[in-house]
Structure 1
Amino acid sequence: METVVRPAGRTLEYLVEGPEDGLALVLHHGTPGAAINRDGLFPPDVRLVLISRPGYATSTPNPGRDVASAAADTAAVLDAAGIAEFVTAGWSGGGPHALACAALLPGRCLAAATIAGVAPSDAEGLDWLAGMGAANVEEFGAARAGAAKLQAFLHEAAGPLATVRAADVVEAFGDLVSEVDKRALREGFADYLAASLRHALSAGIDGWRDDDLAFCKPWGFALADIATPVSLWQGDQDRMVPFEHGRWLAAGLPKAEVHLVPGAGHVSLLSRIDQIVATLRRQAAG
């Protein structure tokens, strides 16, 4: 694990793995989450860059951050790693942060993918909470009520997740995981998700809190202005980020290549990583 120093002395932890001549891919983790690589998930010719967003694991909190701030943090990490051009993907809560890179690092970010990514909370015509599992409805209801209420909710919610083991992940997520996602977790993704959660919450809930608050205010860029090639991936069995978020983003990203996948869930969509990376590679090549 490496670190880079940002303004006001805050630090970001990051991880770079894979061949130096490989396709540089920045993966933005979910919410909550951190820089943990799942061996074998990505093709061997990918140079994978993982960044723990501010407040997660050992990355210094950046209170009040918006989604757009991820672009400058990503650029700083890439500068430190000696990487010029890159592609990016964001899963779940990472989706908006990948879109921030597409919007705000044009030319350097060659292509972006949002995988089960959340839509803006003020999206016109979208019932943002509809279709979410009960825990997410409560969590984002608290986020909309303000930082104090969200802080209290997350302190309680973080307890079991901060020490969760693979065998307990399905139970810990309750009705947030559909049947297809339960299968995906039991077939190997539980190890990755549990490790990511433990590392993310090892220093507390600041990153989780600030992610949620960032989702519930203007993101800091306009989706319609994104000129970087984007692909959108969303399953119709998703209880964390419902299918309608994908539909809304498909309309809000007029130049996106859209993959609305029947039968896929929030976690099981990650089994399509090879296809997603192939799409990013093709889009980056123009």
Structure 2
Amino acid sequence: MVDGVRLRDGRWLTVEEYGDPGGSPVVLLHGTPGCRFGVVPQDVLAARPGVRFIAYDRPGYGGSDRRAGRRVADAAGDVAELADHLGLGRFAVLGRSGGAPHALACAALLPSRVRRAAALVSLAPPDAPDLNWFAGMTRSNAEDYTRALTDPLAFAERLAARAADIRSDPAQLLVSLRDGLTDSDRRIVADPAVTDMLLRGYREALRTSAYGWLDDNLALLSSWGFDPAVITRPVLLWHGAQDTFSPVGHFGWLADRIPRARPVLDPDAGHFGAIPALPAVLDWLCPEPASS
């Protein structure tokens, strides 16, 4: 079911729900670039009949209005308003890749609402003490992030051109990621169901502009607006040790920083290993019987 929320500041947030309307609610936070389509494959959604999945396009993506200058922390306010609109009391949050820091923001800033949080292949904050932020990162990502920091105008122009190309052929984004994919990543991405999910998500994410992609990157590279150390809710951190998009050092830093973190490190997985890990992650997020 596709819906939307008119937020208090006048912005429109596009929302889509899946699964059981009376089930345990899980708010999904998509990757970068991404949208409401690209978090959990359809077969995984269908295999969770007792779960109510709620996905939305972050500002500037898909059908959601832009919020220029947004921080990672601002996701918590949007999710809180979304939850109020849907009549949710407490809920879980799940974020993958660029969505993972936004899930951590919800856990940090909405402790009375978030039951549990899962952050898969997350980056750490750019100002993380004692972390070499670029160590182990694929060259293309490191170059893009460096350009965003040193010449944001040129970075914005580059993303706009890439977004235009991806609108005509979404597979180009997967091609551009090849230098950072492990062998296991390539097998996962080659699965037709995963390929279809990713390409559909990229096409929708960038169909109007590259603003969501730009604002995500700038938010991830700026102060997040919260310290992960203040999170009091249980957090599952899942990571692949071979990940070169979100290097494993970021996982170690977060695992040491978040008080109730449950770290899960797959020694053989890369970045897209988070997708086959989703069933086990959802079992933890929505245990039977339900618990906090």
**TM-score greater than 0.5 by the shorter chain:** yes
Question: In structure 2, what is the equivalent of residue 39 of structure 1?
Answer: 42
Question: In structure 2, what is the equivalent of residue 285 of structure 1?
Answer: 291
Question: In structure 1, what is the equivalent of residue 108 of structure 2?
Answer: 103
Secondary structure of 1:251's partner? helix
Alpha-carbon distance in structure 2 between the residues aligned to 1:86 and 1:118:
23
Question: In structure 2, what is the equivalent of residue 225 of structure 1?
Answer: 230
Question: What amino acid maps onto 1:260 in structure 2?
Answer: L
Question: What amino acid maps onto 2:234 in structure 1?
Answer: P
Alpha-carbon distance in structure 2 between the residues aligned to 1:48 and 1:136:
30
Q: How many residues align?
A: 285
Question: In structure 1, what is the equivalent of residue 186 of structure 2?
Answer: 182
Question: What amino acid maps onto 1:205 in structure 2?
Answer: A
Select between 49-58 and 241-250 the one with higher mean Cα deviation.
Answer: 241-250
Question: What amino acid maps onto 1:285 in structure 2?
Answer: S
Alpha-carbon distance in structure 2 between the residues aligned to 1:146 and 1:54:
22
Whether the aligned pair in 2 keeps the contact of 1:161 and 1:172 (CA below 8 Å) is no
Question: What amino acid maps onto 1:101 in structure 2?
Answer: C
Question: What amino acid maps onto 2:291 in structure 1?
Answer: A
Question: In structure 1, what is the equivalent of residue 122 of structure 2?
Answer: 117
Question: In structure 2, what is the equivalent of residue 143 of structure 1?
Answer: 148
Alpha-carbon distance in structure 2 between the residues aligned to 1:228 and 1:163:
42
Alpha-carbon distance in structure 1 between the residues aligned to 2:215 and 2:175:
25
Whether the aligned pair in 2 keeps the contact of 1:126 and 1:248 (CA below 8 Å) is yes
Quote the offset at 1:88 in angstroms: 0.5
Quote the offset at 1:69 in angstroms: 0.6
Structure 1: runs of 5+ lacking an equivalent: none
Question: What amino acid maps onto 1:41 in structure 2?
Answer: V
Q: Is 2:133 aligned against 1:128?
A: yes
Quote the offset at 1:93 in angstroms: 0.4
Structure 2: runs of 5+ lacking an equivalent: none
Question: In structure 2, what is the equivalent of residue 76 of structure 1?
Answer: 81
CA spacing shift, 1:119–1:204, aligned 2, 3 Å: same
Whether the aligned pair in 2 keeps the contact of 1:230 and 1:256 (CA below 8 Å) is yes
Q: Is 2:157 aligned against 1:152?
A: yes
Whether the aligned pair in 2 keeps the contact of 1:139 and 1:153 (CA below 8 Å) is no
Moved over 3 A (4+): 163-166
Quote the offset at 1:8 in angstroms: 3.4
Question: What amino acid maps onto 1:217 in structure 2?
Answer: S
Select between 1-10 and 212-221 the one with higher mean Cα deviation.
Answer: 1-10
Question: In structure 2, what is the equivalent of residue 23 of structure 1?
Answer: 24
Question: In structure 1, what is the equivalent of residue 176 of structure 2?
Answer: 172
Tell me the percent identity: 37
Alpha-carbon distance in structure 2 between the residues aligned to 1:85 and 1:106:
9
Question: In structure 2, what is the equivalent of residue 264 of structure 1?
Answer: 269
Alpha-carbon distance in structure 2 between the residues aligned to 1:146 and 1:14:
33
Quote the offset at 1:156 in angstroms: 3.0
Select between 188-197 and 63-72 the one with higher mean Cα deviation.
Answer: 188-197
Return the match for 1:192 from 173, 189, 197.
Answer: 197
Whether the aligned pair in 1 keeps the contact of 2:232 and 2:259 (CA below 8 Å) is no
